[in-house]
């Protein structure tokens, strides 16, 4: 069975009260009885997602403007930042039941749903932002943490006066400090060139050595009716998780915002972190090796999620429609991959 979610069965985010003390576990979207199957528009303008550290002032102004509008919408508006953030809580803290499997709740992490879910999530976030400023070519920036000049938190997100800023981050991890892709709270991070080389090794290992098959890259099969499988793919495991923990505020009880599923989407940086994760999917398919291709199992291809699109329509999207970003209307700005030469 594939694993589509049941829109009529969005309830309390089950894992929230059990792993935190948070009682208000409602992160479902505004209800809507009309769900349509999403059809990718043809002939849409191509959106090019820039590396955040390379974006110019004109671009940053545009993103600031879009985010300002998004933050000003009423909380129950499907395009509001609060609703966009709640999507992560709903899909990641088990608010949804799967179609045909009452009481089987879904969590998109630790399985082959990780990459496609987050790809669709960013897709609508980006289209909504573009709509808010009347620019269908608007593309979100990616946090280029696999390249030395992209390793610190990108400047546009660290500007305290910007709507892209979030105060619930680690004060000790502000730019120009570079991310440690092996980050753990108990071990000190290397510095200087040693840190950069260690980061390259992580990238090479996760993208090349440990990702030789679709299952290793995407994560284990997770089908309709099954409980969460806990079989994350290589990139989801590392560095994706380390980036979340490193960014979140250690003074907060649950490492908010980035450090926990329920709150991660409240930091605008989340979407750029995940844009780079998403970019890795495109890059992985171009690396040598005959097994570096999308999963062909129909249960994966027919798994589905629900999102409000930029026209406030609730739409059902399938994994099969997100395997080619060009068909979705976007690509990533090309930058060098310095880690590709870092074979241990």
Contacts with ligand C2O by CB under 6 A lie at 88, 92, 109, 118, 240, 244, 264, 274
Active-site choice (79, 123, 173, 244): 244
Are residues 231 and 267 in contact, defined by beta-carbon separation less than 8 angstroms?
Answer: no
Our answer to whether residue 273 is catalytic in this structure is no
Our answer to whether residue 173 is catalytic in this structure is no
Alpha carbon 179 to its chain's center: 18
3-state secondary structure of 150: helix
CB-nearer residue toward ligand C2O: 59 or 254:
254
Are residues 303 and 5 in contact, defined by beta-carbon separation less than 8 angstroms?
Answer: no
CB-nearer residue toward ligand C2O: 129 or 235:
235
Least gap, CB of 183 to ligand C2O (angstroms): 14
How far apart CA 295 and CA 300 sit, in angstroms, is: 7
Give the residue among 312, 319, 330, 325 at the shortest CA–CA distance from 36: 312
CB-nearer residue toward ligand C2O: 113 or 328:
113
What would the DSSP string read from start to end of 175-240?
A: TTSPP-TT-BTTBPPP-HHHHHHHHHHHHHIIIIIT-SSHHHHHB----TTPPP---B-HHIIIII
Our answer to whether residue 160 is catalytic in this structure is no
Our answer to whether residue 118 is catalytic in this structure is yes
CB-nearer residue toward ligand C2O: 60 or 95:
95
| Number of alpha carbons in the 13 Å side-chain half-sphere of residue 265 | 22
| Number of alpha carbons in the 13 Å side-chain half-sphere of residue 145 | 34
Active-site choice (81, 217, 261, 270): 261
How far from 110 is each of 120, 215, 217, 231, CA to CA, in Å? Answer: 17, 12, 11, 5
How far apart CA 233 and CA 62 sit, in angstroms, is: 34
What would the DSSP string read from start to end of 85-115?
A: HHHHHHHHTT-EEETTEEEEE---SSSTTHH
Task: Please state the residue numbers annotated as binding site for Cu cation.
Answer: 88, 109, 118, 240, 244, 274
In sequence order, which residues have a C-beta less than 8 Å from that of residue 248 and are 6 or more positions away?
Answer: 168, 169, 170, 255, 256, 257, 258, 259, 260, 264
How far apart CA 193 and CA 185 sit, in angstroms, is: 21
Query: Catalytic residues, which ones?
Result: 88, 109, 118, 240, 244, 261, 274
């Amino acid at each position: 069975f594939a694993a589509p979610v049941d829109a009529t069965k969005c309830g309390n985010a089950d894992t929230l009260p059990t792993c935190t003390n948070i009682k208000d576990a409602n992160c479902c979207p505004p209800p809507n009885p009309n769900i349509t199957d999403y059809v990718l528009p043809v002939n849409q303008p191509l959106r090019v997602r820039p590396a955040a550290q390379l974006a110019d002032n004109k671009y940053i102004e545009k993103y600031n403007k879009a985010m300002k509008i998004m933050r000003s919408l009423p909380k129950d508006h499907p395009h509001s930042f609060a609703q966009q953030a709640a999507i992560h809580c709903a899909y990641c803290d088990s608010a949804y039941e799967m179609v045909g499997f009452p009481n089987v709740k879904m969590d998109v992490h630790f399985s082959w749903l990780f990459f496609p879910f987050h790809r669709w999530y960013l897709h609508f976030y980006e289209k909504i932002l573009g709509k808010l400023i009347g620019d269908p070519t608007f593309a979100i920036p990616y946090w280029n943490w696999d390249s030395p000049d992209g390793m610190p938190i990108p400047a546009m997100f660290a500007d305290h006066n910007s709507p892209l800023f979030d105060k619930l981050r680690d004060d000790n991890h502000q730019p120009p400090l570079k991310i440690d892709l092996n980050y753990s709270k108990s071990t000190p991070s290397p510095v200087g060139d040693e840190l950069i080389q260690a980061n390259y090794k992580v990238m090479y290992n996760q993208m090349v050595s440990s990702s030789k098959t679709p299952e290793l890259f995407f994560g284990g099969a997770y089908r309709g009716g099954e409980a969460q499988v806990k079989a994350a793919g290589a990139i989801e495991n590392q560095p994706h998780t380390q980036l979340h923990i490193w960014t979140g505020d250690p003074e907060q009880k649950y490492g908010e915002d980035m450090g926990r599923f329920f709150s991660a989407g409240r930091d605008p940086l989340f979407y750029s972190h995940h844009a780079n994760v998403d970019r890795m999917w495109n890059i992985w398919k171009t690396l040598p090796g005959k097994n570096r291709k999308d999963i062909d199992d129909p249960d994966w291809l027919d798994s589905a999620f629900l999102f409000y699109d930029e026209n406030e329509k609730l739409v059902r999207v399938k994994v099969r429609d997100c395997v080619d970003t060009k068909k979705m209307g976007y690509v990533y700005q090309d930058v060098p991959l310095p880690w590709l030469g870092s074979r241990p």
